Structure 1
Amino acid sequence: MSPTMIAYSFLSLAIVMEVAGTTFLMKSEQFSRLIPTILMAALYAGSFFFLSQALKSLPLGIAYAIWAGLGIVLTALIGVAAFKQIPDFPAVIGITMIVGGVVVINLFSNSVTH
């Protein structure tokens, strides 16, 4: 497997762990519940570890844009599915713009290594 594919695999793991960590942040009820708080901290640590591994082959700005953008979208979807937090129309437009930004970076930027 190429170094770029490995980097994107690490980045995918980082995103999944960050979204799961954020879900447990909600479940921790402001750090008042021990198990969700511990899981949140472990998942965030894992997310940063895998993000750091992705940075061996991906530029920082590109990796962070993908990590943050997809994290926002997936976290919003978890909010809808798990916590019944329905975004209003401006929120949907904003999230769509974030996705568009990530797509533009990946398809058109010379900074991205494919």
Structure 2
Amino acid sequence: MYKKLHSPLFIAWSLLMAAIVCEIAGTSFMAAAARSGGYLGYAWMAAALALSYYLLSLALRAISVGVAYAVWEGLGLVGLTAVSVWLFDETLVTQEIIGLGLALQGLVCVTLGEGDEQEAAA
């Protein structure tokens, strides 16, 4: 178990998840700054998005770029949608909920394909 937690692949996926959190935070700061007119939110946005890209680049050492970017954008989209509903009182119509569900299904397929590819290479 200890070896699995320190494997390059586990670390890469952990970095990717951290990149997604930073992307959601950065985009949320942007939305808040745009609505309030304050410039401090834009500074936080820039810092969070820069950190997100940096963490994404580190994750690319062990995860293929197509899979990492798809997961980063897809989970970022779903997470940001949840934050916008929760913090900004936005609403979703049924069509949007179905679309998010389909996006998540696509991410599962892409991610499972990545696992098969890595097993074949080993």
State if a TM-score over 0.5 links the two structures.
yes
Structure 1 equivalent of residue 67 of structure 2:
62
Query: Counterparts of 2:55 and 2:87 in 1: how far apart (Å)?
Result: 25
Aligned residue pairs: how many? 113
Structure 2 equivalent of residue 51 of structure 1:
56
* 8 Å contact kept, 1:31–1:37: no
SS across alignment from 1:29: helix
Percent of aligned pairs sharing the same letter: 35
Query: Counterparts of 1:14 and 1:5 in 2: how far apart (Å)?
Result: 14
Give the unaligned 5+ runs of structure 1.
Answer: none
Q: 2:7 aligns with which of 2, 10, 14?
A: 2
Structure 1 equivalent of residue 3 of structure 2:
none
Structure 2 equivalent of residue 77 of structure 1:
82
Q: 1:24 aligns with which of 20, 25, 29?
A: 29
Which deviations, in whole Å up to 9, do the C-alpha atoms of 1:5-43 show, x marking residues without a partner?
A: 010011011000000001001011179411111000000
SS across alignment from 1:107: helix
Give the unaligned 5+ runs of structure 2.
Answer: 1-5
Q: Give the TM-score taking structure 1 as reference length.
A: 0.92
Query: Counterparts of 2:25 and 2:10 in 1: how far apart (Å)?
Result: 23
Q: 1:87 aligns with which of 86, 92, 96?
A: 92
- Give the CA deviation at 1:104: 1.2
**Structure with the larger helix share:** 2
SS across alignment from 2:92: coil
Q: Give the TM-score taking structure 2 as reference length.
A: 0.87
SS across alignment from 2:34: coil
| Bigger CA radius of gyration | 2
Cα RMSD of the aligned pairs, angstroms, is 1.6
Q: 1:105 aligns with which of 107, 110, 117?
A: 110
SS across alignment from 1:56: coil
